[in-house]
Amino acid sequence: MTKIRFPANSAQVTDAPWAGTLLLFPALSPLLPMAASLLILTDFFQAANRALDYATNLAGPLKARLVLLHVRRDSILDPEMFTGQLSNLGQEAISLALSGVASHLPVPVVAEVGHGRIAFAVADAVARHHPQLVVLGRADHSGTPNELVETTSLDILRTTPYPMLVVPHSVGSTAPPRRVLLAVDGENFTLGEHAGSARQFLAALGAELVVGHVVANRRSGELPPSVLDSVLRTGLALELPPVCTRKVVHEDAADGILQAAQPEDFDLVVLIARQRSFMGNLFHRSVTAQVLLESKIPVLVLPAK
């Protein structure tokens, strides 16, 4: 991690336990610690800017600060190092860009620069800041077959399984979600150490929660009680309006979720990602990967134990 020198109106902290981090606060905000944070990755392109707008609007109801992380991908092991896909900003340009972005945000901000592979830089930042969520933008990969796209989100999940919010570059609104689709497979699950932060996230939004389950047979009848019970046991629905369920008929689970998660019906889709789905070599074929790559609305991935 690199310390960046910003203009005089920024607040630099050099003698704190997180020395090397630059704290940026709006002019009228008190320099007070905050209980929650959101870690946002930025490369200053459209998708990252859209994700930052989305995270900024979430910070209000969550009472959270933002941790703005730019990663200089200067590792010779980075697969995109020689493809021309990486920005080649120098240290001074990065400083100016971060300063410009942070100075216009209405919430407290911590700005940092990491180095090397993104997934490892994120793991380091997560270990130090313990954010509620890792937030990143999904760029336009429409010209590339999905099976050839090794997205940052998938790499991060494999390296540091952590609640992650992926915002598509084309998302129409960055307002906090009011209607949430929680897609489940009907099996019991636990969120382990992330259960509390996931509950706090949904409770702070006060959104309507719909539990969705994909079935292959149109004649399967009503959803079994175990589908809703698998969610209620986790406490995710505490402090929320009454939860309802939705049956989605489709032979393919990922396509069924994508069919249901339309912008006119929902603002956010939540996936429960089991370890077997994001640790295997065929991860790019998993339901989680397909929804992350193709969803028209933001996707919140909650790693399950």
**Per-residue pLDDT tens over the stretch 204-242:** 998 999 999 999 877 777 788 889 999 999 999 988 888
% the chain with pLDDT above 70: 76
Residue with tokens 């009503």: 222
Give mean pLDDT, residues 26-33. 40
pTM for this entry: 0.81
Q: Which two tokens stand for residue 21?
A: 């981090």
Q: Name beta bridge partners: 24.
A: 109
Tally: H helices and E strands in the chain: 9, 12
Do the strands 109-115 and 22-24 form a parallel or antiparallel pair, or are they unpaired? Answer: antiparallel
Residues 6+ apart with CB under 8 A from 218: 249
For 238-257, the pLDDT digits (tens) are 888 889 999 999 999 999 99
CB 147 within 8 A of CB 283: no
Q: Which residue has the higher pLDDT, 305 or 162?
A: 162
- Report which of 174, 163, 237, 185 is spatially closest to residue 207, judged by C-alpha positions: 237
* CB atoms near residue 280 (< 10 Å): 12
CB 50 within 8 A of CB 169: yes
pLDDT at residue 141 is higher than 90: no
Q: What pLDDT, on the 0 to 100 scale, is given for residue 1? A: 53
Q: What pLDDT, on the 0 to 100 scale, is given for residue 105? A: 81
Give mean pLDDT, residues 29-53. 77
pLDDT at residue 271 is higher than 50: yes
d(CA 301, CA 283): 14
Q: Name beta bridge partners: 2.
A: 113
* CB atoms near residue 103 (< 10 Å): 15
d(CA 55, CA 39): 9
3-17, 58-72, 143-157: which is most confident: 58-72
Give mean pLDDT, residues 13-42. 52
CB 283 within 8 A of CB 277: yes
d(CA 263, CA 120): 33
CB 114 within 8 A of CB 18: no
